[in-house]
């Protein structure tokens, strides 16, 4: 009933420390994609043809997917100190909606991620990135949907695992294969058959394909529909699981 209002309250709470140190927060999870852009992407320009005629157009959407993955998948780390200190328990003891406690946090992470994505896209423009403006807008929406799914799952795992070192190990075990099998670094078309098949089972790879089509302005490309469907299903499943867990743990 009051979930919307409660979500706003939790979102505002989560945003406050972020807004006090915007630069630190933004840089925190941006480092990895930025390093890839600076230290890896130039290699691709030396491989003409492999990524289509414009390597930036191919590489940057993948980096945004990586950014979304790192910013949201690691979000659970922000919850763990509050679980240990008692702040999470204090909020659970209030009448605030259980789903709002989850959604408000996820929305804060999405906000940070979108700002980071905009910064990266803007920074790449002088280097020759020429994306379709409508496509970029749609790509950011798709990233946000992916982020809702991944972020919710991250909080879910954090609440179940409860301790940082296990959570870190779990994240490593999950995010590395998701990145390697997503084709953000090199085209998965180059992969042997079994590896390509594995990458098709990775939801992130479909989102990456959709992001690339959107940046190129191919809004009707089949990969856009597939990537969107995959991201929406992931988000819905995560939210159902997440809110249910919040109710049970409360």
Partner 1 sequence: MIHTRALTRDFGTKSGTVQAVRGLDLDVGAGELVALLGPNGAGKSTTLRMLTTLLPPTSGGATVAGRDVVADPAGVRRRIGFVGQGHGAGFDQLARDELVTQGRCYGLGRAEARRRAEALLTELELDGAADRESVRLSGGQRRRLDIAMGLIHRPDLLFLDEPSTGLDPHSRANLWSHVLRMRAEHGTTVVLTTHYLDEADAVAERVVVIDHGRVIADGTPDELKGKVSGDLVSLTTATADAARAAAEAAGRLPGTTAVETDGTEVRLRVPRGDAVLPELLRALDAAGAPLTGVRVQRPTLDDVFLTLTGRSLREGAE
For residue 112, the minimal CB distance to partner 1 (Å) is: 14
User: Residue 58, SS3?
Assistant: helix
Does residue 109 touch partner 1 according to CB under 8 A? no
Q: How far apart are CA 169 and CA 195, in angstroms?
A: 24
Contact with partner 1 (CB under 8 A): which of 4, 22, 52, 84? 84
Q: Determine contact, residues 203/234, Cβ cutoff 8 Å.
A: yes
Beta bridge partners of 52: 49, 50
Structure tokens at 42: 């130039």
Contact with partner 1 (CB under 8 A): which of 26, 34, 44, 92? 92
User: Residue 69, SS3?
Assistant: helix
Does residue 23 touch partner 1 according to CB under 8 A? no
Total residue count of the chain as it appears in this document: 250
Q: Which is nearer to partner 1, 7 or 154 (CB)?
A: 7
Does residue 4 touch partner 1 according to CB under 8 A? no
Q: Which is nearer to partner 1, 52 or 81 (CB)?
A: 81
Stretch that binds partner 1, among 40-48, 94-102, 178-186, 210-218 (CB under 8 A): 94-102
Beta bridge partners of 49: 52
Stretch that binds partner 1, among 32-40, 82-90, 185-193, 194-202 (CB under 8 A): 82-90
Residue 49: left (phi > 0), alpha (psi -120 to 50), or beta?
Answer: left
Query: Among residues 113, 112, 66, 104, which one has the least CA distance to residue 82?
Result: 104
Q: How far apart are CA 160 and CA 155, in angstroms?
A: 9
Stretch that binds partner 1, among 67-75, 77-85, 145-153, 186-194 (CB under 8 A): 77-85
Q: Determine contact, residues 26/64, Cβ cutoff 8 Å.
A: no
Binding mask 163-202 for partner 1 (x = CB under 8 A): ----------------------------------------
Q: Which is nearer to partner 1, 90 or 244 (CB)?
A: 90
Stretch that binds partner 1, among 13-21, 41-49, 205-213, 232-240 (CB under 8 A): 13-21
Torsion on CA atoms 180, 183, 185, 187, rounded to nearest 10: 130
Contact with partner 1 (CB under 8 A): which of 4, 35, 47, 87? 87
How many CB atoms are located within 10 Å of the residue 92 CB? 14
Does residue 90 touch partner 1 according to CB under 8 A? yes
> Applying CB under 8 A, what is the total number of residues that bind partner 1?
22
Q: How far apart are CA 147 and CA 84, in angstroms?
A: 25
User: Residue 192, SS3?
Assistant: coil
Does residue 162 touch partner 1 according to CB under 8 A? no
Q: Give the interface with partner 1 as residue ranges (CB under 8 A).
A: 2, 6, 9, 12-13, 16-17, 81-82, 84-87, 89-96, 250
């Amino acid at each position: 009933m009051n979930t919307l209002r409660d979500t706003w309250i939790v979102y505002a709470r989560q945003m406050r420390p972020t807004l006090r140190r915007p630069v630190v927060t933004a840089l925190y999870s941006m480092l990895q994609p930025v390093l890839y852009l600076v230290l890896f992407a130039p290699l691709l320009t030396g491989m003409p043809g492999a990524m289509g005629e414009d390597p930036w157009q191919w590489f940057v959407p993948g980096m945004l997917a990586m950014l979304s993955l790192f910013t949201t998948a690691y979000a659970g780390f922000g919850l763990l100190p509050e679980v240990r200190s008692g702040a999470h328990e204090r909020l659970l003891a209030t009448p605030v909606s259980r789903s709002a406690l989850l959604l408000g946090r996820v929305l804060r992470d999405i906000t940070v991620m979108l700002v980071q994505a905009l910064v990266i896209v803007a920074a790449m423009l002088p280097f020759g990135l020429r994306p379709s403006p409508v496509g970029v807008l749609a790509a950011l929406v798709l990233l946000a949907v992916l982020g809702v799914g991944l972020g919710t799952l991250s909080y879910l795992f954090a609440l179940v695992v409860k301790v940082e070192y296990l959570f870190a190990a779990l994240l490593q075990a999950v995010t590395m294969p998701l990145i390697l099998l997503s084709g953000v670094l090199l085209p998965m078309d180059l992969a042997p058959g079994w590896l390509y098949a594995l990458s098709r089972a990775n939801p992130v790879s479909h989102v990456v394909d959709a992001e690339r089509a959107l940046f190129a302005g191919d809004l009707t490309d089949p990969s856009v529909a597939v990537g969107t469907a995959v991201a929406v299903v992931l988000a819905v499943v995560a939210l159902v699981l997440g809110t249910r867990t919040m109710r049970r743990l409360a």
